[in-house]
Chains A and B, each alone.
Chain A
């Protein structure tokens, strides 16, 4: 029996799925990637104004947009923004605040995350920075997926609305490796369904998957965190990534795993020049 499995797997591996590529194609070139990525979306969805890509599924579906506009007078994320504001104003036990951990006291800075930290050589997302801030001040970290973390990031996004994403990839081999790893993660097929992020968010934006309209990968990070009816509450970028992995029947990674941080770095770089739209509401 075991032999049969090996033969089947060997057959699969031998059949070349894709033509071999020249090694030169593999050089890391974020600026060229950026241009190709942007051209793809602006040409494929020529009717969508560039800044509208930050509205995720609404940019793809007029009917859905109408429903959204109907509820946006009383947005369901308001509570999270208020809660995050209170948390920002409340000192830790040591008297310091969240604001002390961030540039400009944490106001209007969401567009600069994630960034490459040249001390540690790793990617720091907003969620990671918030928990590191708590730990540095003697407080226990929060769950990455919802509740307090969603409130804090909702408030920080809210104070940054309209600011343009400005992600830097410094000329440091570690930063370029993180970028490349994020790109690899984005295009790698996984799970029993054999889907990559790109299968859904590059090849199928605007198409339905069950009742949902797929968002385009361009600007896909801009609306985080989001209120989702299906979650019956708020969810962070971490929560969204875990959910997306599960949809391919892959075992999700731990929130803020290096691969998740790197893919967020890659996608946010691709959103450079687009405005922050979060927090947002989704059906």
Chain B
């Protein structure tokens, strides 16, 4: 539950961050940051489907020249990937709390 709340905050934050008139360079930077975070989530075997969807949407928007959307989607992907990394790290110990005993 707590995690969902955090994800929601992150998404709102990502939306607010998207300013008008982004450029190819803005997109490249945002995509690189998102891809790096998603790679780290992959190393933890904990990628999320919505992250992949946001990455795909970012690339699609960039290909169509819509860099505002592309940057916003890439930022969202980065936020989601970071939340999945945080989840994986938290669960490295927290899973034990759920064990039937």
Query: Which residues of A are in contact with B by a Cβ distance under 8 Å?
Result: 1-2, 4-5, 8-9, 11-13, 15, 17-19, 21, 25-26, 33, 36-37, 40, 183-184, 187-194, 196, 198-199, 202, 246, 249-251, 253, 259
Q: Which segment of B2-10, B20-28, B59-67 sits at the interface?
A: B2-10
Closest residue of A by beta carbon distance from B75: A1
Instruction: Tell whether, in the assembled complex, residue B47 and residue A251 are in contact, meaning their CB atoms are under 8 Å apart.
Output: yes
**Residues B77-100 near A (CB distance < 8 A):** 78-80, 82-84, 86-91, 94-100
Q: Which B residues are CB-close (under 8 A) to A194?
A: 1, 3-4, 87
Instruction: Tell whether, in the assembled complex, residue A17 and residue B47 are in contact, meaning their CB atoms are under 8 Å apart.
Output: no
The distance in angstroms between the C-alpha atoms of A40 and B100, with both chains bound, is: 7
The distance in angstroms between the C-alpha atoms of A12 and B7, with both chains bound, is: 11
**Residues B44-68 near A (CB distance < 8 A):** 45-50, 52
Instruction: Tell whether, in the assembled complex, residue B2 and residue A12 are in contact, meaning their CB atoms are under 8 Å apart.
Output: yes
Q: Which A residues are CB-close (under 8 A) to B91?
A: 188-190
Instruction: Tell whether, in the assembled complex, residue B2 and residue A251 are in contact, meaning their CB atoms are under 8 Å apart.
Output: no
Pick the contact of A187: B45, B90, B96 (CB < 8 A): B96
Instruction: Tell whether, in the assembled complex, residue A250 and residue B100 are in contact, meaning their CB atoms are under 8 Å apart.
Output: no
Instruction: Tell whether, in the assembled complex, residue A18 and residue B94 are in contact, meaning their CB atoms are under 8 Å apart.
Output: yes
- Assess whether B17 is interfacial by the CB under 8 Å rule: yes
- Which range holds the interface residue count of chain B? 35 or more
Identify the interface centre among A188, A191, A253: most chain B CB within 10 Å of its CB.
Answer: A188
Given contacts A8-B9, A9-B83, A9-B86, contact A251 B52 (CB under 8 A): yes
Q: Which B residues are CB-close (under 8 A) to A18?
A: 94, 96-97
CB distance from B68 to the nearest CB of A (A): 15
Given contacts A18-B97, A36-B101, A202-B100, contact A251 B49 (CB under 8 A): yes
The distance in angstroms between the C-alpha atoms of A18 and B94, with both chains bound, is: 7
CB distance from A238 to the nearest CB of B (A): 16
Given contacts A12-B86, A17-B2, contact A198 B45 (CB under 8 A): no
Instruction: Tell whether, in the assembled complex, residue A13 and residue B17 are in contact, meaning their CB atoms are under 8 Å apart.
Output: no
